[in-house]
Structure 1
């Protein structure tokens, strides 16, 4: 299969039309246009790998060197597009200038089609390899972030907490896949990390598969890898999360969202310790501790026909129930104090403590968002607190039913938007000061401001 998308930019006086015909047999797509006013539109809408630019393309502004103006424009609008300059043989010096300005190569207008095709193929393959390297690097950046995160801390002394810890102790070093059941925000990921850190796999990777894609093929590749059979030297196999977590622990937070066809792969792994990459003709062995989380009632999903009955049967026998925060009120003080210390360090504040009334209010709340909601609440209180004691006023609770004493945004995004808005107001739109208070970089703050249209 031909690869490479070529865009020819020619004013109609050069070899553009004939060149388009000559290249169509060798590349995935070849398109050309001659209107300089449409160049920005084409560069933003056309998915091109290489642009072939006639050095005499019209529309050059007065005072600009011919050809180099449009080269700069292409690189400004879409720097991922490689550029090849077409010029006359006497313009070699201009071609060398173009390469210094970012062009991939130059060719003469008296085109040797065979040489041009070879050059374009090399440029396309190099570009694709760079993009794959960036993809691999981003995957390993994610791995590094996982490794750098602090060890999980599980706080508590209540009966539900002790019951959960007893169940965890019995599965830490078993080879079985473990189901972690609990409401959203109850701490399933923290428990998964704890299991990993207490197991014999503690010195290996802990990975979370937290980007569950909608299309089954993409999800299969993300989890189990992709076997590339075309162009094996230029298009290497891509490992999935199972392969990357080899020897360690793989946590999948929402198993209920995974389609039945992918669930079959989980069964295959649980039975034979193998997975089958997308496009592969045979399975490959893997060795991971598989932890699956869910906030759904899997039994009901089995009855609805959207969850594999055999997978449910196997997982339900090795399930750990993560109690909701409202069922472990005795633990709230320890958990809240931990989050207070964490938030004080994050926002560069001195030691803070809770007033007796604040603790009482925290215990009275129902916490539908569980530990995650408590963490956001504490973080918000620490940010707003101007004294050494956290008082109910710092949480802006409402004088309504005790189950809704705190006015907490419905989503993390709303919470984040509110925190950024208050930081900007407090520092009179001084971005550097607001970013420092929030514990983020100025660039991240700019991105958030654009995202939330603040």
Structure 2
């Protein structure tokens, strides 16, 4: 859809922002409505037939936490999952804006905005998901997209000899029904490898059921894995199959098996040995036909020596052992992984980022990657969202550093990020304050204050 055909709604508690946005957009859009009170959003979204909503992330009562912005984003998408929503945010709230995009927002704009950039952002948002798919029914298209997304999520990128050897062994084992245990640090891709084994097995068309044992409490373990019958306990309102039954004919993947207590290990061992389960509250056994794959990031042999993991259980689950190397030991894969995630996230977030500079690749290969592939994935995702260029540069990636504040695999140090972006902008415009401030969406005075704050 073109901007000239669009009906736009702007929600912000700042009257000046509403007035400025409407004054600009009414010259370009079909219609523009403004509203100060977000409580009116459900009625407006239901009855207004809008093509796009500009939504503030913070309202008067919320100050600057962003909670209300996320709340209203959820409400909008509950009413109309296809609604294009662009979040309006202050410069220091970029991390929240990234979270908003992951929660379903189409894009974000920084205030004070540059008019041309705001128009370009809105125009790009209106084009998202409006092309392609001819001849495919909506339901079929959804299934097709879901399948592609799932395949992307489970793709294993392997160019290093270490990973090629792991995959060679995994694919040979896949043809059998042998139990497999996958060892490796957090973030090395144990779930992806387990699914890879399943997809190359004779059970590939049957279910692949994942259970995070580390997240299961002692009280829920039996009910979750083995099922229960109606009335077995207070909340048992009906019969329920456990995860082993759900995996019938397919594969069950027990992640973080090293977290199980000794009593739970004994119960699991009985099921594996007998190849049958008994639902909680029942005396009837149910035969099992499943392939078992387990995984842990712990040193399970050491746990056996320390008697915190049963040796007889280990014998049962590790007919074949697959050991995933950490990313620091497979640097040859870093460039291919980065390119894979760049393509994935550029498409997901509709960003025109299509290349990674050789300088950034070198920086990535020199980094230790304590969070492994998961850290690399998150780093590329954030870089794609924040980058203003078509090629990612070293300054676009925020990595842990021994010389300063760090971005972890779960979030940014915002002050360090802000300082880095200011330095990058000043370099790009050769120290020109006016141009750098315009690029950052700041006033000259605001940029001067930040430069003084960071000693730049």
Q: TM-score, normalization: structure 2?
A: 0.54
| Equivalent residue number for residue 315 of structure 2 | 313
Q: 1:312, CA displacement in angstroms? A: 1.4
Q: Contact (CA 8 Å) 2:176, 2:201: kept in 1 or not? A: no
Matched residue of 1:150: which SS? Answer: helix
| Equivalent residue number for residue 172 of structure 2 | 170
Note the alpha carbon deviations across 1:415-435, whole angstroms, 9 max, x for none.
5x969x99xx9xxxxxxxxxx
Alignment of 1:294-373 (within 5 A): 294-373=296-375
Alignment of 1:354-433 (within 5 A): 354-397=356-399, 400=402, 407-409=406-408, 411-412=409-410, 414=411
Q: Which runs of 4+ in 1 moved over 6 A?
A: 145-148
Matched residue of 2:373: which SS? Answer: helix
Structure 1 residues 379 and 215, CA gap change in structure 2 (3 angstroms)? closer
Alignment of 1:50-65 (within 5 A): none
Gaps of 5+ in 2: 1-144, 422-456
Q: Contact (CA 8 Å) 1:212, 1:219: kept in 2 or not? A: no
Gaps of 5+ in 1: 1-144, 426-454
| Equivalent residue number for residue 238 of structure 2 | 236
Note the alpha carbon deviations across 1:29-88, whole angstroms, 9 max, x for none.
xxxxxxxxxxxxxxxxxxxxxxxxxxxxxxxxxxxxxxxxxxxxxxxxxxxxxxxxxxxx
| Equivalent residue number for residue 192 of structure 1 | 194
Q: 1:216, CA displacement in angstroms? A: 2.1
State the Cα RMSD in Å.
Answer: 3.1
Matched residue of 1:201: which SS? Answer: coil
Structure 1 residues 188 and 393, CA gap change in structure 2 (3 angstroms)? same
Q: Give the length in aligned residue pairs.
A: 272
| Equivalent residue number for residue 222 of structure 1 | 224
Q: Is residue 300 of structure 2 the alignment partner of residue 289 of structure 1?
A: no
Distance 1:214 1:186 in 2: 22
Greater shift, 166-175 or 204-213, is seen at 204-213
Distance 2:188 2:165 in 1: 15
Q: 1:193, CA displacement in angstroms? A: 1.3
Distance 1:207 1:398 in 2: 35
Q: Contact (CA 8 Å) 1:217, 1:278: kept in 2 or not? A: no
Q: 1:168, CA displacement in angstroms? A: 0.2
Q: Contact (CA 8 Å) 2:213, 2:256: kept in 1 or not? A: no
Q: TM-score, normalization: structure 1?
A: 0.55
Structure 1 residues 215 and 190, CA gap change in structure 2 (3 angstroms)? closer
The structure having more radius of gyration, on CA atoms, is 1
Q: Which structure has the higher relative contact order (CA within 8 Å, separation 6+)?
A: 2
Distance 1:231 1:153 in 2: 41
Distance 1:377 1:226 in 2: 42
Distance 2:252 2:308 in 1: 23
Matched residue of 2:173: which SS? Answer: coil
Q: 1:167, CA displacement in angstroms? A: 1.6
Note the alpha carbon deviations across 1:335-374, whole angstroms, 9 max, x for none.
1100001110111112421111000001011101100001
Distance 2:285 2:147 in 1: 28
Q: 1:269, CA displacement in angstroms? A: 3.5
Q: Contact (CA 8 Å) 1:177, 1:270: kept in 2 or not? A: no
Q: 1:397, CA displacement in angstroms? A: 4.9
Q: 1:281, CA displacement in angstroms? A: 2.1
Note the alpha carbon deviations across 1:82-114, whole angstroms, 9 max, x for none.
xxxxxxxxxxxxxxxxxxxxxxxxxxxxxxxxx
